[in-house]
Structures are given as C-alpha cells and as structure tokens.
Amino acid sequence: MSDNLPEELLIEILTRVPVKSLICFTLVSKSWFALITNPNFIKSHITKIQQEKIPNSPSLLLIRRYTKDDKLEHYTLNPDEDGGHDNGGNSTQFALKSVEIDFPFKSLIGYFRIVGTCNGLVCLSDDLFGTTKPIILWNPSVRKSVLSPAPTVNPPLPYMFVLGFGADLNRDYKVVRIVYHREGQFDYLLPPEVEVYSLSTGFWRRIMNVDIKVCIADFLWSQAFANGAVHWIAYHPRGSNNDTNGGSIGSSILGFNMDNEVFNEIMLPDELAHDLATNLFITVYRGSLAVIKYHRGEDNGSCSIWVMKEYGSFESWTRLYAIDLVEGMEKVVGFRKNGDILVAKESKELVSYDPRTGVIEELGICGSTRSFYIYNFEETLVLLKRQNAVVEEEEGTDDTHSFQEEVGGNERDEETSTNKDGSDGQERIVDRVANFLVSGQ
C-alpha cells in the first residue's frame, strides 16, 4: 500500500494513528520501521497528539500508587473524559476502565520520586536520602527506558539537590539538577551549582554563572513543567536582600527555561508569598502554572488552589477554589477534565471531589497517601528505537545500597537494609523532615 502513496501523505496518515497500532505497523516492512522510528516522525506524531484529537485515543491520567500489602508501585492509565458525571465521566467508569502498566523497576526505599512527566516520558529518581544516583527516563507506552550517567556535581556532605524535567523547543528532553551546599542546620550557600542532563547527548554538563538568590525546600520539593520551563516553590533565606518581612521568609517560584537554560523568579500573590514554602505545592492545572496552599488546623485543614491564567503576568494570579479538607481528605493529587479534584485521604484512599457541590466519591483505589502521583498523560513513541541500558554502581559509595540493575528488566531485592517497609519508613522520615524544616524556618 505504501508503494502507491507519496511519503508525505503516508506520514500525514500515520501521525493520526495511536501508538499501539504504530508499534504493530513497524513490522509491516523495513521502510515502515525506518519511518515510524525516525525522530522527525516521532516529533510530528507528538505535535498531532497535542494539536488535534487522534481518533480512538482517549484522554488519559497516569496514576502511581504504592501498596503496603505487596510492597510494589502500581501504575495505571485511566481514561479521563470530559463528559461530566452523567455522560461517561462518573467515578465508577473512571476506576473500572483503568489499565495496569508493567513497572520494571524496584526502589530501594519503597517507591521512586516521580520528578515529572513530559510527552509520554516519566522521569524517576530514587533519591529520598539525598544519595546521588542516575536518573531513569521511562516510556511505559513503548516499554523503553534510558538511564543517565551518574551526576557530576557531588560536593562533600552535607548538601541537598532538587531535580526538574522537561523538554526544549526541539523536544530534547532534559533533567536539570540544582545542588545546594549546606551551611549549618538550616542555611544553604548561594548560588547553588547547576548541571543539566540532555537525552540527545547522553551527558551531564554544568551551567556556569548561575544567578539564583533563592532556596528550595529540602526533601519536600515538587516541580511543574509549563510554558517550556520547569518551576519549583522557592523562598528567600533570612538576611537576604529580598527579606523585607521583618525576618520572615518570602516564598516565590524559581523557573528554569529549558530552551535558553536561564533561571528567572516569578512572584506570588501576597496570600501565598507570606506563607512558608513548605505549605505550598506547585503543579499544573489545565496547562497553566498553579500553586496549592495548605492550612493545617487542629481538626480539619483546608487548601486553596491558585492559577496563573496568563503565564508571566503577576496580575493574572487567581484563586479558583477554597476547599475544606473534611472526612480525612489530606492532599490534592490531580485534576479531572469533568472539573473534579482527585484527593488522597488519610485512610490511604483516592477520592474524587466536586468543588462545585462538595460531593465526595470513592474510587476504589488505595495506596500510601504520599505515594499518589497523578498527571495528564500522552502515549508517544519517544525512546522507541532505544536499547534498554545496563548500569552497575561501584561499591564503597555513600549510596544507601549498591546495586546492579538492568533498566526495563531485573529487579532488586524486595526489602533493603535501609528499612523493612519502604513505604512506612519513607513517610515517617518525610513527616519528620517536614516538621523539622517548618520549625526551622
């Protein structure tokens, strides 16, 4: 069939085909394999996904959770239709139509930190204890993964680092790593050191002359990739030139443009800027940068969701919702197309909350509260032609456990010498560190 079609027309047709079918089509002929695995075709396919609705390709949410019963991370893809509760958007259908994804890795500490997702790639880091390990880039749609080399910026302890993941305009996927040298119990030296891993080159390289005047909360950091930049919640340390609140710590957003690799600071509205960075969580809401502010009361807490409707415009910050965290609701973990908000409960359940009516619906999905990660997901062909790599860590390092891992294959031991139950141990440590940092600030 392809012999009778101009290549331009064939490409136009195939870019409208879902990923699973395209993978099957690579077996048609050598020419089809070469076409579908070509980087330019893969980029064109992503463009078509993002600009036009591909037939038979529903909107998806990627859900990660960790369960104590089997001590495993579970990844599912859930269809997320914009049909409302009476037209296919109900919670029962949301749960029943989920598809389990084979997860080929095993964390040493319970479950991985998901740094972020971008164009079908999931960036994973096993870094709770601050150890320097390679980064995994994983595409569950094509079951391929890439392991970065070990980072190159490794100063003497104590230090902390944060990560960010996204892509530049040429769709080169990058991981940025910011390393802060610690000075005393709470203080970090500025500016930090910065390095960037690029998938196209396969190497880390340092970014020189970095102008960063803010810190990022240790252990509790999160990132959001929007408008071509990675973002983190940041704060001005005491005594800095921006400390204008009588010794309090002003919060803001630190951004890193993935294309020109320049940092910038984004100001928050007063309702957020005067709060502790540890009470703020950065995310993406329908393509826009968003911040969730938490207030913990003696009985029930509350949270408010703020969105920057026009990127870069301070005046466009808008509070969308104010939510009372009742009935054990603890943490906002995602947003649905029908307007509902996905919330993790203290009882380790995931529920769907309608902010317009206050109705809470159980989804029948359970997992460790802090392990829930939910994000809009696109099935793509990125990494399709890559070979899964093998890495072996050298002995005698400061890592929690030396290991040998085949990315996409071999698992490590179910339990580690660090703790017997990764999930419980991880959450206890994170809680203690959170309380320690908040009291320190």
In terms of Cα–Cα distance, which of 216, 193, 202 is closest to 174? 202
pLDDT at 220: 74
Q: Which residues contact 340 (CB under 8 A, 6 or more apart)?
A: 91, 352, 353, 354, 355, 361
Amino acid at 248: S
CA 423 to chain centroid, in Å, comes to 19
Q: How many angstroms separate the first and last alpha carbons of the chain?
A: 67
What pLDDT was estimated at residue 178?
Answer: 96
Stretches where the chain sits below pLDDT 70 are 1-3, 53-57, 82-93, 128-132, 185-186, 239-249, 388-441
Task: Check if the beta carbon of residue 74 is closer than 8 Å to that of residue 367.
Answer: yes
Angstrom distance (rounded) from CA 365 to CA 254: 34
Please say whether the beta carbons of 380 and 42 come within 8 A. yes
Residue 407 CA from chain centroid, whole number: 19
Q: Please say whether the beta carbons of 178 and 229 come within 8 A.
A: no
Q: What is the pLDDT of residue 81?
A: 72
Q: What is the pLDDT of residue 241?
A: 57
Look at residue 419 in the predicted model and tell me its pLDDT. Answer: 42
* Neighbour-count burial for 396-423, b at 16+ CB within 10 Å, e otherwise: eeebbeebebbbbeeeeeeebeebeebb
- The pLDDT, as a whole number, for residue 247 is 41
